[in-house]
Structure 1
Amino acid sequence: MTRVPAFDAVLLAGGRARRLGGADKPAAPVGGRALIEWVAAAASGASRTIVVGPPRDVLPDAVRVREDPPGAGPVPALRAGLPEVRAPWAVLLAADLPFLRPVHVAALLDAAGDRAGAVLVDGDGRAQWLAGCWRTARLRDALAAYTGASLRGVLGPLDPAMVALPAGERAPWYDCDTPEDLARADGLARPDVL
């Protein structure tokens, strides 16, 4: 692996969490810490951490912004967070990935190489658009030209590197959308050196 380039992290931590009954999903505990804290730790090499979503009593050093309207989805959230990015690379992450680690973020940045970005693919080969890294200038241009509502619609045309990583039960793309997902993640979580 080569040296990791300078990057800022944009953590998408809004949304309505319908499948969790509207609970504050990023603040939900897994393994004794909030989901958003796990994700911020995975991006701990960031020059800046930008959290898009409602105020929370975690990550006090993060830049905080809110999508308009609140809970409108990932494209409006990206539009709110991207102006705060100063580094040449932006790591875009959902705030519900408890098993993502710094080594995974570094692998994405390494795999991007000369491309516009890289995105994690799951065990079935599906792109996980909320776990990727992007050249900031290319991402800004793509977002400025995009009028739709699909994150894939913004990011897919950038032709990112698709990154498959070793998985197991604690897969880096494992996200927590339901109470069952959270319970399983909590059961799989164990003390981890971040």
Structure 2
Amino acid sequence: MARSRSQTGPDDETLWNQFRGGDENAFARLYQNYVQTLYHYCAHFATDRALIKDCIHDLFVELWKHRTTIGPTTSVRFYLMASIKRKLVRHLTAEQKLVSQDDMINGRRVGDTLPGADPSHENLLIAHEEDSYMTDCLHQALDKLPRRQREAVHLRYFQNMSNEEISSLMEINIQSVYNLIFGAMSNLKRYVTLENVSL
């Protein structure tokens, strides 16, 4: 997960403003801070890894190209995640891959659930449990979640976003955020129990 402040440098809001002023080093730092976060987030919507990488590359190219007209932001992470989601939706819709834009907006599932979060992120969710068998069981359980539940869990527990931020990013109301997370937790408990392991 990307940090809002690096160990040895300025916070992201400062880097953002420096990048807007044409600072190439600040731009490079922002890319390094967020490329993995954006990649893992996109993996909830597409299995085409090359497409994900292309979208991220295109996003940063466009950011640099339009840096003089981009406004300030108090949440670089939210800005970038919202931007990459819009870009990915446009690509998937245009190429008719995996899901349509309507599916993305309304949260309808298409086919089976998509690949789960990276195991290193799952470890954050189960930091109290180091056992590898427990990790494997949770990974399998996450794979079984509906896409929208998985997205909500990823944003809440892996990205530490507030319910208000999740509501805005997913374009749903706060109650729907609560419902998705509650449903995900209930499903995880049920799925892991099926694996004879308790949460």
Return the TM-score normalized by structure 1. 0.34
Whichever structure has more strand as a proportion of its residues is: 1
Structure whose alpha-carbon radius of gyration is higher: 2
